[in-house]
Amino acid sequence: MMSWKGWGDPDRAQALSPDMRRLVHDALGVRADGPGVPGLAELQLPGSQLSGQVADRLAAVVGASHVSTESEARIRHLRGKSTPDLLALRLGDLSDSPDAVVWPGSHGEILELLKLCTAERIAVVPFGGGTSVVGGLAPDRTGFRAVVALDLSRLNRLVELDEISRLVILEPGLRGPEAEARLAEHGYTLGHFPQSFEFASIGGFAAARSSGQASAGYGRFDERVVALTVATPTGTVALGQAPKTAAGPDLRQLFLGSEGTLGVITSLTVEIRPVPALRIYEGWRLPDFAAGSAVVRRLIQDGPVPTVLRLSDEVETALNLARPEAVGASGGSGCLLITGWEGPSNQVEETAQATRTVLRNAGAELVEGAGSDWAAGRFAAPYLRDALLDAGALVETLETAGFWSALPALYESVRQALVQTLGRAGTPPVVLCHISHVYRSGASLYFTVACAQTADPLEQWRLAKAAASRAILAAGGSITHHHGIGTEHRAWHHRQLGEQPVAVLRAVKRELDPAGILNPGILV
């Protein structure tokens, strides 16, 4: 079960290494611990606003054991896992807690719940893995009598496997590792491994357009959903008869990325691949970020295309290569490129060999052990954040994407926005970046920012994030590449979309959710 106070499995929480502690002290100038997490029993939760009568009606739909207004359940469904979310909890702000948690067992029950909540003016927050980092689980309660978290963990079946079409129908509450385990019994994989993989849910992958670390080889999750069923307040939507069609606008693309605001995805038909017989991960050092970007672009545009492509900039490389002492120095470590190949053995060997030739021609040198180190730690970074917050550092990530020709300016302007804003606050940051997802026409940029916390770390980050978002819009990047919109990006997203497209989103929302009960304040 996910920790209620930080990331992941509580047993895997890790303390800072002496090296990291030194880094926090020397490079970030941290001098005092940050606010710690109160004990579960100390937390003062506002009273549940859900009336007993309505609770009874919810229980009549899902069964009494599948409704709870108890503190622990409510706290476990409080917000997501962004740094502002974790800081708010540390600062004792529990104002976004749902008034109750409901665990439906079927599509039909969800339809009934949505009808009931529409009639009772109760806001509903679909809850998958709870890993949102953009405020996707903190709705605006204005005008609602209460807020209910709709926990989808009971919808966890592998419904049907179609080996001929290489498709599987999955329910949304399955988490990444559960889905992979069920598929592995039959020799298949989704190949979808975002950093949140161990805790995020299948439904969340679709609703928030997740992108995995092996996206160069397997594609994004949204690209691999061919059909879906959605429970909306006005009825059932089922879309998708074929891999691709010319049958008008692709309405599947309204629900993918809808973040629970248009309906609750209750089943998904997703492409699967055979479990790879061979996986190879390697690390390569390129002279600098420009040279690394050029070779990554060369690979995705002209092939061979590896399964994993991830290029760290100079600062992130220094940390990745376990030399935190080099951070802030004048560099010299170059840039680390992780390349991975997965598939049938002969294909993997061939593609890996062809890739190595391209890399060597671009001046890349193999870094022993860097590939396996990356693979071993690929889901671990968020644990480190909890320890850094304890130690008084502010750590957060943000991401964007743009076309290749716009990427250098996008990179530079976001970096500068973060450095300048946090510098002005008296907390000069370390800013790391990597290219994590590549396409023929462009790529994503994933930034990690670390600095000392000020007395008001929430406001400190709000200003930095706003500066970065302004820089992204000015440089023509997308306000998000794979984190989603939630509440954090909503205003920026609307500014980027323009008036008509926002009006279209609202019109769709009105049609499917006339009372606006689904995730109010999120996305639209």
How far separated are the first and last CA of the chain, in Å rounded?
31
> Does residue 503 bind a second copy (CB under 8 A)?
yes
DSSP 8-state assignment for residue 276: P
Window contacting a second copy (CB under 8 A); options: 95-103, 323-331, 365-373, 433-441: 433-441
Q: How far is the CB of 269 from a second copy (least distance, A)?
A: 8
Task: State how far the Cα of 117 lies from the Cα of 233, in Å rounded to an integer.
Answer: 9
Window contacting a second copy (CB under 8 A); options: 81-89, 179-187, 232-240, 451-459: 232-240
> Residue 93 or 350: which CB sits closer to a second copy?
350
> Does residue 238 bind a second copy (CB under 8 A)?
yes
Window contacting a second copy (CB under 8 A); options: 114-122, 171-179, 322-330, 484-492: 484-492
- Among 107, 118, 339, 308, which residue's Cα sits nearest to residue 217? 308
Q: Interface residues for a second copy in 157-176 (CB under 8 A)?
A: 162, 164-167
Considering only 88, 254, 296, 418, the residue that binds a second copy (CB under 8 A) is: 254
Instruction: Provide the β-strand partners of residue 446.
Output: 399, 434
Query: What tokens appear for 198 in the block?
Result: 């161990």
DSSP 8-state assignment for residue 48: P
> Residue 12 or 360: which CB sits closer to a second copy?
360
Window contacting a second copy (CB under 8 A); options: 17-25, 90-98, 116-124, 501-509: 501-509
Window contacting a second copy (CB under 8 A); options: 8-16, 178-186, 378-386, 491-499: 491-499
Q: Interface residues for a second copy in 17-76 (CB under 8 A)?
A: none
> Does residue 498 bind a second copy (CB under 8 A)?
yes
Considering only 248, 330, 368, 455, the residue that binds a second copy (CB under 8 A) is: 248
Query: What tokens appear for 204 in the block?
Result: 């969340």
> Does residue 507 bind a second copy (CB under 8 A)?
yes
> Does residue 485 bind a second copy (CB under 8 A)?
yes
Q: What is the DSSP string of 199-216?
A: T-BHHHHHHTT---TTHH
Window contacting a second copy (CB under 8 A); options: 41-49, 57-65, 67-75, 215-223: 215-223
Going residue by residue from 345 to 374, which x/- string records binding to a second copy, judged by CB under 8 A?
--x---------------------------
- Among 136, 44, 39, 40, which residue's Cα sits nearest to residue 85? 136
Considering only 19, 250, 456, 459, the residue that binds a second copy (CB under 8 A) is: 250
Secondary structure class of 58 (helix, strand, coil): helix
> Residue 35 or 219: which CB sits closer to a second copy?
219
- Return the biggest CA–CA distance within the chain: 71
Q: Which residues contact 207 (CB under 8 A, 6 or more apart)?
A: 126, 128, 172, 255, 256, 257, 258, 259, 260, 265
Task: State how far the Cα of 258 lies from the Cα of 505, in Å rounded to an integer.
Answer: 10
Q: How far is the CB of 303 from a second copy (least distance, A)?
A: 7
Window contacting a second copy (CB under 8 A); options: 61-69, 113-121, 427-435, 494-502: 494-502
Considering only 95, 253, 345, 353, the residue that binds a second copy (CB under 8 A) is: 253
> Does residue 209 bind a second copy (CB under 8 A)?
yes
> Does residue 301 bind a second copy (CB under 8 A)?
yes
> Residue 94 or 190: which CB sits closer to a second copy?
190
Considering only 482, 487, 517, 520, the residue that binds a second copy (CB under 8 A) is: 482
Q: Interface residues for a second copy in 303-322 (CB under 8 A)?
A: 303
Task: State how far the Cα of 156 lies from the Cα of 349, in Å rounded to an integer.
Answer: 36
Query: What tokens appear for 191 in the block?
Result: 């190949």
Q: How far is the CB of 198 from a second copy (least distance, A)?
A: 19
Task: State how far the Cα of 118 lies from the Cα of 438, in Å rounded to an integer.
Answer: 42
Q: What is the DSSP string of 158-222?
A: EEEEETTTTEEEE-TT-BHHHHHHHHHTTTEE-----TTTTT-BHHHHHHTT---TTHHHH--HH
- 225 touches 252 (CB < 8 A): yes
Q: Interface residues for a second copy in 270-289 (CB under 8 A)?
A: 271, 274
**What's the burial of 319, exposed, middle or buried (CB within 10 Å: 0-12/13-18/19+)?**
buried
